[in-house]
Amino acid sequence: MITVPDDFGAILGEEALPWRATLPALATKFCARWRLTPDGDLLNGNVAVVLPVRRADGHPAVLKLTWLDEETRQEPLALTAWRGEGVVELLDHDDEHGALLLERLDHNRSLDDAPIEEALAVTGGLLRRLRVPAGPEFRRHEPPDLARENAGLGEPVPAAFVQQADELGRGLAESAANTLVNQDLHYENVLRGDREPWLMIDPKPLSGDPEFCVIPLLWNRFGEMDGERGLRERFAALCDMGELDAERARAWTFCRAVDTWLWCVDGELDEMRVSVEAIARTFRP
């Protein structure tokens, strides 16, 4: 049925190898269950494979098989809550096996390649449109212990940044709203569709503040901005179009920048580290 690329799942480590080995059988299982016919080459991201298919009535769709963890497990729940408004439509799913049957979009056309003005208008609109209440079943952001992480890595991030982000992050988390948000909204995950010109895919849902979600839209396409001025202009545009509280967005952006700075150091992601360090310095309260 499918041949999984040899390097798929490397980011997940050895614990994912048994799951990876089951993917061909899972694809066969769900094509049979949902009466699907393969209709294109297998695609993959970091934690999921996606097979273009046609349903029994001939309509195109995709079968997504995803690694289940705390970030991915609630994707079907979030897609159901958003009801296809600005997001890919969920047609069927199996929570036990991480199988999702989704509306087919054009994976070759994303906001990553659109003019930045259009990309900001669409994602700013999504920040506004996706603002629905989150039930108690959705996980909430738990502030990490940044000081301990920084110490464990040899203190690569200035202590003043870490202390401020730790204190600020705890306060933000305690007072955060109960809004369903996508903590990983970025330009590559908004694809061209038929129902709407652009539709979001692959959410990582949380219950919290919409302002929590700004930073991926700053570090993605970072190289296109004119230094600190460009960062501030993009941030202001997103807050305006997304109808966000600018001060709360600034605080969340700083905290997430410091957190991601440490993650980049740990993972030796030098290019991304440069961008999140710049964001942390620009938006430090």
190-192 sheet: strands from edge to edge: 106-110, 190-192, 198-200
Helix (H) or strand (E) holding 188, with range, is none
Structure confidence at residue 156 (pLDDT): 97
Pick the catalytic residue: 184, 202, 209, 226?
184
Q: State which residues of the chain have pLDDT below 50.
A: none
pLDDT tens digits, 218-260? 999 999 998 899 999 999 999 999 999 999 999 999 999 999 9
Residue 269 is predicted with a pLDDT of: 93
The answer to whether the beta carbons of residues 191 and 106 sit under 8 Å apart is: yes
Cβ-in-10-Å burial (0-12, 13-18, 19+) of 224 comes to exposed
- Could you confirm whether 39 is annotated as catalytic? no
Could you tell me the domains of the chain? 10-104 (3.30.200.20), 110-283 (3.90.1200.10)
